[in-house]
A and B are shown apart, each in its own frame.
Chain A
Amino acid sequence: MDKMNIKSVDAASQKMIEKAKVDNVEIVWDRYDIMQPQCGFGQLGICCRICNMGPCRIDPFGEGAQKGVCGANADTIVARNLLRMIATGAAAHSDHGRDIAEALLLASEGKAHDYSISNPDKLREIALIYGIKVEGRADLELAREVALRALAEFGQQAEELRFVSRAPEKTQETWRRLGIVPRGIDREVVECLHRTHMGVDNDYKNIILHGLRTALSDGWGGSMIATELSDILLGSPQPIRSKVNLGVLKEDYVNVVVHGHEPTLSEVVVQASQDPELLKLAREKGAQGINIVGMCCTANEILMRKGIHVAGNFLQQELAILTGAVELMMVDVQCIMPALAGLASCFHTELITTSPKAKFPGVTHIEFSPQRALEISKSILKRAVDNFDNRNKARVSIPEETMDLIAGFTAEDIPKIIGGRYRSTWKPVNDGIISGRLRGIAGVVGCNNPNIPHDLGHTTMVKELLRNDVLVVVTGCSAIANAKAGLLAPESAFESAGRGLREICEAVGIPPVLHVGSCVDNSRILIACSKIVEEGGLGKGISDLPVAGAAPEWMSEKAVSIGFYFVASGVFTVFGTPQPVLGSQNVTDFITDELEEIVGGKFAFEADPIKAAQLMIKHIDKKRKELRLNPMMYQ
């Protein structure tokens, strides 16, 4: 891999990385270099800081300490650390879901006038799943009950999360047999912290099984609530054309980057950017208008629903500011680099925090509340417009790169597209797999990480999968990476696609790489898998399907939680660099091998995206063989 030494495979990013050098400002790759070499104990997961008898470390070479002061061995220490990563990831997704549920409740009670029930169909679909009577009831009344029911799932103590019932029966049975059906969303996360307190759970298998349950409370709980209730409140995404990469910043506009994860504020900011008074003010300052662009998963949310242009993914957040053309960057929660505050102060860019959960020292905080969404949005945009005067035009350098894309596919919409509005069905996909035109389906998701050249993992892996007739669904920063490489534009994606995949996609009218949303929208992939099982012919549980998942450039704890809920749901999942588990051979064997016997899914770690794609293809072929499907048509 001759590309391994470059920082990014994206041309726009390369230009801005060079500019950072010229401007003498420090960015993520510089800090990564300074941090080398990174701590081996941390990489192996054998450092324990849980109690004050420690910190303790296990000697990975077997000479020194093999037990912590309390007697915990490498297995216990690695498993506990891993469980805490899952807990944090699940907490982040689920808390996002809670915020959406609270916004829906406020809207339904008439306390958040800037929102309405945008998708009454989905409202009724979800109400039915919750067992709520829908006949003859008004939207607002129903929405209130759905919001309260969703919020109750967070504090629920026993029984099962309701959305678990959307999984195939066989998959549910596996979870019940193992006792890992999530009971309440908050409960599982709290129990992770209890179990990993000093002197509680010491059996690595028992610890990791609770990790599966916690991850399931994210995927089939908090994340799914976030997705479904966002669809109800803000509307379900529809296929939509847009543009991506730093070139969407406009030299003659007031540029506002919305960065973070939750869509509630950013949706209204998009609306506020059309406010005549603000536009008049912008023109008075010499700007053509207000240009809202997205970063990270907030970008995916407003891209999917509104077609708003995407400035970039995780590793481009600093690069956007480096263009010198960003008047304001507003952030909420998750994946926001603390470095932004210092970097913004080197430019005229104003950084604004909006969530009470995420403040930065010395950064202006304008707190979001759904009750005053439009008013707050306007006040933030007013600051951006005012800041246009402070832009140093001599320092502006916007890379010209942009790429066309289509986004906005959902588990409800895909069957409508491929089957027609009145005979919505997954059948063409199932038939394609059964006949051997389509090898299977892969989800390529997750973050960016400076430990692999930016976007290289995502784009290389997706091309390899396409070449082998695998239909690909993408979310999060992976979706943005693939969009920049032109893989979300059907015309260019077809160039990489194998013949069978091409035939299927052209016949039913979908691109070979489907953008299904933000990172909480990985729950859409779970629903799609369930529906494909339901359609028939491909086994009884998700673990029977010829599908695989991957997070080739993962960095966050959310990615670990996502990985675990896919594995727990029966999906073979490849992570690029290893999770911090290699310090325990037992834990490594358990999650990369033995779990397959137990839940049907397991992990593999492979940093080379081509080799990782080959592992996924090998797994898909194994499943095809088990299902006795036809050989691939165009081998």
Chain B
Amino acid sequence: MPHKKIKRLYYDVSKCLACRSCEIACAVAHSQSKDLFKALKEEKVPLPRKKVYKSGDKNFPLSCRHCQDAPCVDACMANALVYDKEKGIVLHDESRCVGCWMCVMVCPYGAIRPNLKTKIPIRCDKCKDEQEPACLAACPTGAIILQDVEEDQGA
């Protein structure tokens, strides 16, 4: 069975202070201008694909886990979602998306949000065109971790 190393995002809940810096960095990374001050004035205000939540006395950022066996991929009737084995991410083809929200419904983590304005779900793309996700560098406490994992490629 071939194995491949891919990078996955993990969170150290003991370190998350819920400062939401990752949310801001995420929104800016997905803006046209890539600049906070300018992003707020863009026609389509960018939204963070990651949100910070609280559970008990722990905080944690939540975004798509990019599951290898992803319920959202199975549920997508438009074939807009596909798991990319090479990159280890769930790719979302926005041009095919019909905004049915099935992915929002089936995500076991609640990590996908509907964007009611654009009729397209808001989901993490792990900053696929960049060296590393923007949230990683934005975290002031190091609560966000990007770690190599071996993934079974046969599945």
Which segment of A34-42, A335-343, A441-449, A452-460 sits at the interface? A34-42
Tell me, yes or no, whether B112 is within 8 Å of chain A by CB. Answer: no
B21 touches A62 (CB 8 A): no
A581 to chain B, nearest CB (A): 10
Q: How far is the CA of A583 from the CA of B40 in the complex (A)?
A: 8
Q: How far is the CA of A63 from the CA of B118 in the complex (A)?
A: 14
Interface residues of B in 116-155 (CB under 8 A from A): 137-138, 140
Name the one of A36, A40, A57, A61 contacting B45, with C-beta atoms under 8 angstroms. Answer: A61
Residues of B near A37 (CB, < 8 A) are 21, 25, 137-138
A60 touches B47 (CB 8 A): no
B62 to chain A, nearest CB (A): 14
Name the one of A61, A582, A583 contacting B46, with C-beta atoms under 8 angstroms. Answer: A61
Name the one of A36, A41, A578 contacting B24, with C-beta atoms under 8 angstroms. Answer: A41
Closest to A607 in B: B37
Residues of A near B27 (CB, < 8 A) are 61
B40 touches A582 (CB 8 A): yes
Residues of A near B48 (CB, < 8 A) are 61, 63
Tell me, yes or no, whether A288 is within 8 Å of chain B by CB. Answer: no
Tell me, yes or no, whether B20 is within 8 Å of chain A by CB. Answer: yes
Tell me, yes or no, whether A363 is within 8 Å of chain B by CB. Answer: no
A55 to chain B, nearest CB (A): 10
Q: How far is the CA of A57 from the CA of B24 in the complex (A)?
A: 12
A40 touches B36 (CB 8 A): yes
Residues of A near B140 (CB, < 8 A) are 39
A60 touches B37 (CB 8 A): no
Q: How far is the CA of A37 from the CA of B37 in the complex (A)?
A: 14
Closest to A57 in B: B20
Q: Which among B21, B27, B40, B140 has the greatest number of chain A C-beta atoms within 10 A?
A: B40
A63 touches B28 (CB 8 A): no
Q: How far is the CA of A506 from the CA of B131 in the complex (A)?
A: 57
Tell me, yes or no, whether A44 is within 8 Å of chain B by CB. Answer: yes
Q: How far is the CA of A454 from the CA of B24 in the complex (A)?
A: 28
Residues of B near A40 (CB, < 8 A) are 21, 24-25, 28, 36
Residues of B near A39 (CB, < 8 A) are 19, 21, 24, 140
Contact A61-B20, Cβ < 8 Å, known A40-B28, A582-B40: no
Q: How far is the CA of A583 from the CA of B137 in the complex (A)?
A: 22
Tell me, yes or no, whether A369 is within 8 Å of chain B by CB. Answer: no
Name the one of A41, A60, A63 contacting B40, with C-beta atoms under 8 angstroms. Answer: A60
Closest to B38 in A: A582
Residues of B near A63 (CB, < 8 A) are 47-48
Q: How far is the CA of A431 from the CA of B19 in the complex (A)?
A: 57
Closest to B46 in A: A61
Closest to B21 in A: A39
CB 8 Å contact bits of A59-103 with B (1 = contact, 0 = none): 011110000000000000000000000000000000000000000
A396 to chain B, nearest CB (A): 38
Name the one of A36, A43, A57, A62 contacting B36, with C-beta atoms under 8 angstroms. Answer: A43
CB 8 Å contact bits of A251-288 with B (1 = contact, 0 = none): 00000000000000000000000000000000000000
Interface residues of A in 26-52 (CB under 8 A from B): 36-37, 39-41, 43-44
Closest to A605 in B: B37
Contact A62-B37, Cβ < 8 Å, known A37-B138, A40-B21, A57-B20: no
CB 8 Å contact bits of B25-48 with A (1 = contact, 0 = none): 101100000001100100001111
B83 to chain A, nearest CB (A): 28
Residues of B near A57 (CB, < 8 A) are 20
B38 to chain A, nearest CB (A): 10
B65 to chain A, nearest CB (A): 21
Interface residues of B in 42-66 (CB under 8 A from A): 45-48
Q: How far is the CA of A57 from the CA of B21 in the complex (A)?
A: 11
B37 touches A578 (CB 8 A): yes
A582 touches B37 (CB 8 A): yes
Closest to B37 in A: A582
Q: Which among A40, A60, A62, A583 has the greatest number of chain B C-beta atoms within 10 A?
A: A40
Contact A41-B37, Cβ < 8 Å, known A61-B46, A61-B48, A63-B47: no
Residues of A near B137 (CB, < 8 A) are 36-37
Q: How far is the CA of A358 from the CA of B48 in the complex (A)?
A: 42
Residues of B near A44 (CB, < 8 A) are 36-37, 40
Q: How far is the CA of A57 from the CA of B23 in the complex (A)?
A: 12
Residues of B near A60 (CB, < 8 A) are 24, 36, 40
Residues of A near B40 (CB, < 8 A) are 44, 60-61, 582-583
Q: How far is the CA of A62 from the CA of B40 in the complex (A)?
A: 10
Residues of A near B138 (CB, < 8 A) are 37
B140 to chain A, nearest CB (A): 8
Interface residues of A in 554-597 (CB under 8 A from B): 578, 582-583
Residues of A near B20 (CB, < 8 A) are 41, 57
B110 to chain A, nearest CB (A): 15
Residues of A near B21 (CB, < 8 A) are 37, 39-40
Closest to B51 in A: A64
Q: How far is the CA of A40 from the CA of B46 in the complex (A)?
A: 14
Residues of B near A61 (CB, < 8 A) are 27, 40, 45-48
Q: How far is the CA of A568 from the CA of B36 in the complex (A)?
A: 29
Closest to A578 in B: B37
Q: How far is the CA of A331 from the CA of B122 in the complex (A)?
A: 53
A568 to chain B, nearest CB (A): 25
Q: How far is the CA of A44 from the CA of B28 in the complex (A)?
A: 13
Closest to B40 in A: A60
A166 to chain B, nearest CB (A): 38
A411 to chain B, nearest CB (A): 37
| Subset of 25 A-B contacts with CB under 8 Å | A37-B21, A37-B138, A39-B19, A39-B21, A39-B24, A39-B140, A40-B21, A40-B24, A40-B25, A40-B28, A40-B36, A41-B20, A41-B24, A43-B37, A44-B36, A44-B37, A57-B20, A60-B36, A60-B40, A61-B40, A61-B45, A61-B46, A63-B47, A582-B37, A583-B40
12 additional contacts (CB under 8 A) given A37-B25, A39-B24, A44-B36: A37-B21, A39-B19, A39-B140, A40-B24, A40-B25, A41-B24, A43-B37, A57-B20, A60-B24, A60-B40, A63-B47, A578-B37
Interface residues of A, Cβ cutoff 8 Å to B: 36-37, 39-41, 43-44, 57, 60-63, 578, 582-583
Closest 10 CB pairs of A and B: A40-B24, A40-B36, A582-B37, A37-B138, A61-B27, A61-B47, A61-B45, A60-B40, A39-B21, A63-B47
